[in-house]
């Protein structure tokens, strides 16, 4: 049986130790990273500081994906957008296969995981919930901390809670789980809203912000479940696709 807990922000990552971690930032870091790997990028380098991401991208011929408080900076090649990455790859390919990313919430949590030297750190979302659950089942941890990024690293985000619930739902279907209170609440929230995830997510503060700034397409993409067969996993400070053992 695996213990499953849901926590929030970088403090949740630091304060709740586990055998495995899942970082969730549905809008949009987690969804963007999963889409990038599924589109053919081999390495995703995560940065907490934009200047460091810019420097790395220039020196390594990497695509730079970034946002600062929800706004694409002028130095970035693309916004933190899964649909923009998919469109870009269709037109230009993946180039060096390297991508640098800096975002307001999810990237900072992954950067914190790197600085803490944590192992078995996956990146999950609604779009890859089943595949994350399958990777966790293969890793067989005795405890899992699902870390939700939240809105601007400070407020509850319904989409992240739903993403956590979706992963827990998938995990419970393939292994025995012991859910702590927050994980139980996330599961039941997901089950109660899964027939209209898009409506729920559009109603949240992150969804409203993105829709009001012309990025509804990303919200629609991120609200679909099990559509992206890619599991981002952190190793040696770099995110790559999880490779199941044969």
Query: What CA–CA distance (Å, rounded) separates 156 from 204?
Result: 9
pLDDT in tens, 168-185: 999 999 999 999 999 999
Model confidence, pTM: 0.96
In percent, the amount of the chain with pLDDT more than 90 equals 95
- Long-range (24+ apart) CB contacts under 8 A made by 84-91 are 85/32, 85/35, 85/36, 85/39, 86/35, 86/39, 88/63, 89/39, 89/40
Radius of gyration in angstroms for the set of CA atoms belonging to the chain, rounded to a whole number = 16
pLDDT, position 245: 67
Close Cβ partners of 243 (under 8 Å, ≥ 6 residues apart):
none
Tell me the average pLDDT of the chain: 96
pLDDT, position 82: 98
In percent, the amount of the chain with pLDDT more than 70 equals 99
How much is the average pLDDT of 81-86? Answer: 98
pLDDT, position 80: 97
The pLDDT of residue 190 is above 70: yes
Close Cβ partners of 168 (under 8 Å, ≥ 6 residues apart):
4, 146, 177, 179, 183, 186, 187, 190
SS3 state at 229: coil
pLDDT, position 246: 40
pLDDT, position 172: 98
Of 178, 246, 241, 206, nearest to 36 by C-alpha is: 241
Report whether 50 contacts 100 (CB < 8 A): no
């Amino acid at each position: 049986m695996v213990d499953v807990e849901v926590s929030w922000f970088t403090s949740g990552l630091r304060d709740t130790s586990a055998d495995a971690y899942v970082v969730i930032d549905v809008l949009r870091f987690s969804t963007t990273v999963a889409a990038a790997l599924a589109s053919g990028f081999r390495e995703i380098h995560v940065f907490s500081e934009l200047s460091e991401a810019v420097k790395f991208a220039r020196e390594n011929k990497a695509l730079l994906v970034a946002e600062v408080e929800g706004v694409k900076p002028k130095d970035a090649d693309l916004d933190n957008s899964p649909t923009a990455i998919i469109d870009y790859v269709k037109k230009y390919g993946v180039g060096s296969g390297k991508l640098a990313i800096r975002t307001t919430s999810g990237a900072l949590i992954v950067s914190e995981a790197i600085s803490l030297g944590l192992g078995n750190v996956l990146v999950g979302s609604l779009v890859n919930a089943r595949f994350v659950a399958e990777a966790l089942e293969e890793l067989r941890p005795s405890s899992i901390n699902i870390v939700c990024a939240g809105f601007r690293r400070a407020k509850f985000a319904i989409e992240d809670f739903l993403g956590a619930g979706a992963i827990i739902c998938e995990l419970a279907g393939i292994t025995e789980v012991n859910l702590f209170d927050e994980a139980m609440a996330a599961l039941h929230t997901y089950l109660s809203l899964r027939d209209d995830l898009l409506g729920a997510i559009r109603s949240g503060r992150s969804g409203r912000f993105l829709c009001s700034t012309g990025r509804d397409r990303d919200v629609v993409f991120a609200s679909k479940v099990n559509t992206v067969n890619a599991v981002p996993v952190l190793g040696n400070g770099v995110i790559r696709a999880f490779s199941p053992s044969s």
